[in-house]
Structure 1
Amino acid sequence: MKSWSPIGKDGVQYYPNTWKGRSNVYGLWVKGASNTMYYNAAGYSQSKVGSPYNKNFFNKFSTSSFYCSQLAWRSWEQQGINIDYNKFDTVVSPMEVVKSGNTTIFYSN
């Protein structure tokens, strides 16, 4: 949604890293992931730049549009690691990714 986008664009975009100036922020490691898996997950996410924003939060399975935590989940799902806390629903929220048994917090503010 362009109204809240710091660069005025909709959908999956490159954004500046502004973690230091924010609150309620988490940096996560994915447990058991190799460097190759990190590289491939990042590559998957990068390949989706320009994809539209997924306004249907109840469909995490979409591969044509994405919301933020859905894209992170899908990128890791492609690597064989499910980072969703509640694995049996159709939504993945940021806090579900934080609470997942497959992630660990390395940074919080």
Structure 2
Amino acid sequence: MTAWNAEVPKPVVGDWKVENAGAANEARVGSWSWRDGVICITDAKLSGIINHGHAGIVAAAPYYYAVIEANPGTGVKPHYGSWVSRFSGQVWQVGVKSTSVAQDQKAAQWAARQIGKPYNREFYNVWTRSKFYCSQLVWAAYRDTAGPSADISLNSYGAAIHPFELRDHPNTALIYRKY
């Protein structure tokens, strides 16, 4: 039997949007992408024995080299520096296939406007915009800026959104993987 959070096999395609964008502020650092709106996911164990993962979104200016994320106790805030060195487990980056670079940047800017909001412990309350948990923040950034065609949740009935859903959704492509 496969674990509920087992990775759906996807090839690493790199940040295909960077090659097509040509903008100076979208440079890559190795295989990791600091392009606005790229989704970051880790298998970090943040509570008990259940590995539910963690998610964030690469921030737009003025939050250079930061990932905006929501954490218990601190709420929504930018975290500066590398996720690769911050998390000892697996780390992934994915991009949304159906969006443009401009739409990705809008999602990152939207996420930045949520900084300071509290953490959402009501995991099934995905439609609230007054508080966020990590994967809800990322999902809402795309849902609220690019619309339903950019949906990256594997459920359509309002259930909690897990980081692994963002990684494994057919509308996302794998940019980076670290084991």
Fold conserved between structures, TM > 0.5 = yes
Equivalent in the alignment of 2:77? 13
SS in structure 1 of the partner of residue 176 of structure 2 = strand
Bigger Cα Rg: 2
Structure 1-normalised TM-score?
A: 0.86
Match of 1:100 among 151, 169, 177: 169
SS in structure 2 of the partner of residue 12 of structure 1 = strand
- What's the CA shift for 1:88? 2.3
- What's the CA shift for 1:84? 0.5
- 8 A contact 1:61–1:90 mirrored in 2: no
Aligned residues: 102
SS in structure 1 of the partner of residue 105 of structure 2 = helix
Q: Which moved more, 1:35-44 or 1:82-91?
A: 82-91
Kindly indicate whether residue 139 of structure 2 is the aligned counterpart of residue 70 of structure 1: no
Q: In the aligned structure 1, how far is the partner of 2:167 from the partner of 2:101?
A: 20
Cα root mean square deviation, aligned: 1.6
SS in structure 2 of the partner of residue 106 of structure 1 = strand
Q: Which moved more, 1:31-40 or 1:68-77?
A: 31-40
Q: Which runs of 5+ in 1 are unaligned?
A: none
SS in structure 2 of the partner of residue 58 of structure 1 = coil
Q: Which has the higher relative contact order, 1 or 2, with Cα contacts under 8 A spaced 6 or more apart?
A: 1
Kindly indicate whether residue 90 of structure 2 is the aligned counterpart of residue 24 of structure 1: yes
Q: Which runs of 5+ in 2 are unaligned?
A: 1-46, 48-72
Structure 1 runs (4+) greater than 4 angstroms displaced: none
Q: In the aligned structure 2, how far is the partner of 1:62 from the partner of 1:17?
A: 29
Deviations along 1:9-65, one digit per CA (max 9) or x if unpaired, are: 610001123322222211011102112101110111000000000011111111100
SS in structure 2 of the partner of residue 43 of structure 1 = helix
| Higher percent of residues as strand | 2
- What's the CA shift for 1:90? 2.1
